[in-house]
Amino acid sequence: MNISQALLFITFCIFSSGCSSDIMQDLADARLVDLEPIAIHSLEISDPSGLTLDVSGDFLWTVSDDSGDFIYRINFEGEMLEIITGYRGDDMEGITMNPNDGTLWIVEERLRQIVQLTTDGEVLQSVDVPVDSTNLNDGLEGIAWNPQNDHVYILNEKNPRRFIELNAEFELVRSVTIDFDPPHDMSDLSGLFYLHDDEEFWFVSDESKKIVVTNIHLNPIRGYRLDREKFEGIAVDRSNHRLYLVNDEEDKLYTFELPG
């Protein structure tokens, strides 16, 4: 069914009340653009759950959400370049880099913290992040850094789905519940990347199998449909027209041609 046919069918459903909510959701999702990988690489990492591009643009950083596991430096074919053994995570669910000083920031879901580290794994500071969720496994999940103002953006996975912005002094700037209309609705928030040149947030949702791109004000611009669940880390390389995702269940790195 093409988009024109989908719109006609939606109109019929609205006026006839003859379509189930599942059908309406499928029709809304038909407005998303399908993404097909151009390469898939196996990782020697258990449960990768977070991804970011190094400031050099030459490689990627990822983390494992296994308790006691590490931060990893990998190339674009998923090959291991370095294991950062100086820090063992509790439940790391996201990673980003501050390009202004070259430090890493990781998300600790159950501890409700973000942690700043050197690329050798030395802890520089940790910051508590206020979240409303009482379930430890519905906690912090994604993180991104704005190099223009040193604000940090953090996601709470669900219950509630929350976008949190802290300023350079780690004071709360905004805390927004993410509840987009179809086809950009997401049942969970699994990963985040901030493309600062375009002032765009790239969200990935594991359960909803989609990527949603918003502007700086969190207004959805476009969306992309994925063919499977468990994508929990996202990185965008604008200069080389590449999009990278890690799959937590398959332990794989997926490479896509950057849309648009």
Please give the pLDDT value at position 137: 80
Q: Does one domain contain both 79 and 165?
A: yes
The region of weakest confidence among 27-41, 59-73, 95-109, 244-258 is 27-41
123 shares its domain with 7: no
Q: Are 235 and 193 in contact (CB under 8 A)?
A: yes
Residue 32 has pLDDT above 70, yes or no: yes
- What is the domain range of residue 15? 1-31
Examine the pLDDT at 175 and tell me if it is beyond 80.
yes
Q: Report how many domains make up the chain.
A: 2
Whether residue 52 is found in the same domain as residue 70: yes
CB 112 within 8 A of CB 164: no
9 and 95 together in one domain: no
Indicate if 165 and 251 belong to the same structural domain: yes
> Cα 13 to the chain's mean position, in Å?
33
CB 35 within 8 A of CB 47: no
Are 46 and 171 contained in the same domain? Answer: yes
The closest alpha carbon to 92, from 47, 150, 135, 123, belongs to 47
Average of per-residue pLDDT across 178-186: 98
pTM of the model: 0.89
For residue 132, the model assigns a pLDDT of: 80
At 12-26, the pLDDT tens digits run: 555 656 655 555 455
Note whether 3 and 73 are same-domain residues.
Answer: no
Q: 6-10, 66-70, 113-117, 149-153: which range is least confident on average?
A: 6-10
* Mean pLDDT score, 90-94: 96
pLDDT above 70 for 108: yes
Do 127 and 108 lie in a common domain? yes
pLDDT at 12: 57
CA dist list (Å): 152 to 139, 149, 165, 189, 233:
16, 9, 6, 16, 17
pLDDT band at 38 (very low <50, low <70, confident <90, very high): very high
